[in-house]
Structure 1
Amino acid sequence: MRITRVLGAALLALGLAAGPAAADSSPSPSASDDGKAPSRAGTSFRTATEIEQGQQATASGSTGDYLYWSFPADAGQRPTVKATVKLPRTHGAQTWQIDVYDGLRRRQSCQYGSATRTAGQGAASVELACVLRTVRAWSEPWANDPLPGTYYIRLTVVDLGAADLGLPVSAEVRADSEDIGGAAAVDGSLAKPLVPGIAVKSEAEQDGAKSAVLSSIEPDDGWSSGWWTDRWVWTAVGGLLAALAGIGGYALTRGSGRPSRVPPNV
């Protein structure tokens, strides 16, 4: 019975810990879908249109234009950027490309997806996708790992005939993230997320002045910088299971505790 109680307590602790971990691994909600979606795009990094994760933005432009958007991504998230370009009825073959840059304007490579695709002659649209690597809370200065902060999306055509230059097009862009959780946790965090102007704002707040930040978007629950992950839960559960295993092993090996019967003297 004692061993049964020990195992029951271990399974109960494991079930309680699995709840937060399962919640962390679910995709982030699309909380901003109810709001008014942006209907334009910027023409440079500084004028990039801000969008929230889960929000679909639209824009109109011409072939040859550079279209820019920006969105926030925090530690432990794996962003996915998708874009759909609607083309005019008559056109030649065109190759479109979507690029994603971090807050330091370093181009981030795509783990999965087709970031560059060619639309054949007369095609109605072309769809692009880029799944980034998981955002890390901290990284070496020489590394090119994605870090928490603002991310920029750039959409443009990279190959087309001269006759198609300047034709009107429309684009739809959406950024989502999957929460990876403790599997991507690292020992360390940034002092501030890579948001343009945030350092200037921090100095101004210390001086009691007000300063505008070039990017005002941030995750719904704020910047975590990776201080909490479900790795803490699993570490605690592992220690608890080890302690329970030690108690169970001791209970099995110590015996009944009664003294052995001494045979009577002959």
Structure 2
Amino acid sequence: MRITRVLSTALLALGLAAGPAVADSSPSPGASDDGKAPTQAGTSFRTATELRQGQQATASGSTGDYLYWSFPADTGQRPTVKATVKLPATHGAQTWQIDVYDGLRRRQACQYGAASRTAGQDASSVDLACVLRTVRGWSEPWADDPLPGTYYIRLTVVDLGSADLGKSVSADVRVDSKDIGGAAAVDGSLGRPLVPGIAVKSGKEGDGSKTAVLSSFGSDDGWSSGWWSDRWVWTAIGGVLAALAGIGGYALTRGSGRPSRVPPNV
């Protein structure tokens, strides 16, 4: 009976501990579509159009142009960038490509997905996709691991005939993320997300000093750099299971009563 009560209490504790892990899997604030989706793209890193996760952005341009968007990605997220380029009615074979850069403008490798594709003469569109690695809360200075902050999307054609240069095209771009959670947690976090400045403004003290103005992706977008992750929940569950194993082992090995002691023959 005592072991049964202990097991019942442990199962109740496990249920309560798993609650925060389930709640933590809900989409981050940056994944909601609170505003109108952008209908144009920038032409450089500095003029990249801001795109929130979950939005469907559209843009028109010409073959040969560089189209840029930016989006926020936080710790524990694995972003997926998808793009569809609608081609002219008549065109030759051409190859399109999407590249993703972090806040330090380091090109991030795609974990999987077709980031570059060639469209034949009879193709009306070309679909591209890039699944990034999971964003880490901290990394070595020499590493190129994805870190929380702003990310840039660059869409362009990399191979086409001279006759197709300058023809009108349109593009649809969307960014979504999968929340990996504590499985990607590391012992460390950035002091601030990698959100580069895009302008300057006067200091509050009125001394004429200039301070960088960050992109509008700020704290309201759900930056979670901190000590908490659902890894703590599973660590607590492991501790409870270890304690149960110890109690069960003790109960099984101690026996039902005290061993009898036979006095030696005199």
Which category of TM-score, normalised to the shorter sequence, fits these structures? 0.7 to 0.9
Which residue of the partner structure matches residue 223 of structure 1? 223
SS in 2 for 1:33: coil
Q: Cα distance 1:221–1:170, how it changes in 2: closer, same or farther (>3 A)? A: closer
Aligned-pair distance for 1:26? Answer: 5.9
Counterpart residue identity of residue 74, structure 1: D
Note the 1:125-140 alignment, pairs <5 A: 125-140=125-140
Aligned-pair distance for 1:225? Answer: 1.5
SS in 1 for 2:92: coil
Instruction: State whether residues 30 and 55 of structure 1, in contact with CA within 8 Å, keep that contact through their aligned partners in structure 2.
Output: no
| Greater strand proportion | 2
Q: Cα distance 1:86–1:80, how it changes in 2: closer, same or farther (>3 A)? A: same
Is 1:169 matched up with 2:169?
Answer: yes
Deviations 1:227-251 (A, max 9, x none): 2211111111111222232223333
Note the 1:39-118 alignment, pairs <5 A: 39-118=39-118
Which residue of the partner structure matches residue 10 of structure 1? 10
Counterpart residue identity of residue 138, structure 2: W
SS in 2 for 1:118: strand
Instruction: State whether residues 32 and 54 of structure 1, in contact with CA within 8 Å, keep that contact through their aligned partners in structure 2.
Output: yes
Counterpart residue identity of residue 84, structure 2: T
Structure 2 CA distance for aligned equivalents of residues 71 and 30 of structure 1:
9
Once the two structures are overlaid, the 10-residue window that deviates more, 226-235 or 38-47, is 226-235
Which residue of the partner structure matches residue 236 of structure 2? 236
Q: How many matched pairs?
A: 261
Instruction: State whether residues 28 and 177 of structure 1, in contact with CA within 8 Å, keep that contact through their aligned partners in structure 2.
Output: no
Structure 1 CA distance for aligned equivalents of residues 135 and 79 of structure 2:
8
Task: Report the identity percentage.
Answer: 85
Instruction: State whether residues 29 and 221 of structure 2, in contact with CA within 8 Å, keep that contact through their aligned partners in structure 1.
Output: no
Structure 2 CA distance for aligned equivalents of residues 135 and 31 of structure 1:
15
Which residue of the partner structure matches residue 248 of structure 2? 248
Aligned-pair distance for 1:197? Answer: 2.5
Instruction: State whether residues 104 and 194 of structure 1, in contact with CA within 8 Å, keep that contact through their aligned partners in structure 2.
Output: yes
- RMSD over equivalenced CA pairs, Å: 2.9
Q: Which runs of 5+ in 1 are unaligned?
A: none
TM-score (normalizing by structure 2): 0.87
TM-score (normalizing by structure 1): 0.87
Q: Cα distance 1:172–1:163, how it changes in 2: closer, same or farther (>3 A)? A: same
Structure 2 CA distance for aligned equivalents of residues 247 and 57 of structure 1:
58
Q: Cα distance 1:110–1:219, how it changes in 2: closer, same or farther (>3 A)? A: farther
Structure 2 CA distance for aligned equivalents of residues 126 and 21 of structure 1:
39
Structure 2 CA distance for aligned equivalents of residues 243 and 221 of structure 1:
40
